[in-house]
Amino acid sequence: MNLLVCWNELQDQDVDLIRSKTGANVTVCENKEDSWALVEEAHVIFGFVSPEVLVKAKKCQWLQIPYAGVERILAAEWGNPQMVLTNGSGIFGPNIAEHVIGLLLAFNRGIHLARDFQSKRQWSWDVFYPFRELTGSTVGILGYGDIGQQVGKRLEGFDCNVIGFRRNPQGMEKYAQQVYSIDEFHSYAGMLDYLVCALPHTTQTVGFLNRHRLQKLPKHAVVINVGRGSLIPEADLLLALEEGWIQGAALDVTPQEPLPESSPLWAMENVIITPHNSGRTPFHRERAFHIFFENWEHFQIHGKPKRNVVDPKRGY
């Protein structure tokens, strides 16, 4: 069994662990140029593979990627149309959830503006700011999967009422008072103090949070987006912020990345921008290995992986 590992941050001991755990013929791909030649003989690929090389992966039965987003992989041409794709869902829930809480608290306490004043060596708070608490607030989470539920878990400590929205509610979700279908979002948008967006990029989610849905939110609502920038049309978000349909927005993702210098979002005081880094965590490798080895064991016994199998039709 030929296993191609494409993750240039791995150390020699990590590769040795993969060899000992799998017993496979492990080849390490250190750069994109290597992958073009090595991918042809791979039966399994683990790591950050460039989508365009998959056309040559005709023998590949299973691709395990250590990140959550799959839109670029799904859009590529696969050398083996029957290849199974598994992603890194479950790796990033805790750290992205902490990022969300940080953004919420920064907004509530004006920490982003305080930092601006600090850079000017200015002590006095000479502008009005509507300080808020999370206590007793209603938080909607659009995309109540792993990340959404990790956010809900942390919001419990702030005495929040959590409402989740997902494509197919399971009726077993934790940490939310209610979980509804995404199609029902418009019925509950008006009761949300905060809206956390953690949806993947699919044909159904592109442009979902448009001006019509933004207008249904209360004027004091704050929108946090850590999912995909394609969810909110930038022109509609700008209009919502300028016209006061919502109080503010915190964005870790934007429709175009990097966000162009010309974007008005940069200069808006009621916007906090982080450069798509909510997924950074020191536990990335450890959690990715856990998923991969669990899937490897199932692959060896049943001929296919079990955990985080992506449905190309759904897009996640």
Residues serving a catalytic function are 228, 276
Provide the token pair at 145.
Answer: 């999967």
- Residue 150 near residue 97, CB atoms below 8 Å: yes
Sequence letter at residue 8: N
Phi, psi angle pair for 54, to nearest 5°? -65, -20
Q: Using CA atoms, how far apart are residues 164 and 182, in angstroms rounded to an integer?
A: 9
- Strand blocks (E) in the chain: 2-6, 25-28, 44-47, 62-64, 84-86, 138-142, 161-166, 178-181, 194-197, 222-225, 248-251, 271-273
Provide the token pair at 274.
Answer: 């982080």
Phi, psi angle pair for 141, to nearest 5°? -120, 110
Q: Using CA atoms, how far apart are residues 39 and 78, in angstroms rounded to an integer?
A: 12
Q: Using CA atoms, how far apart are residues 62 and 302, in angstroms rounded to an integer?
A: 13
Sequence letter at residue 148: G
Cα dihedral sign for 5, 7, 11, 14? negative
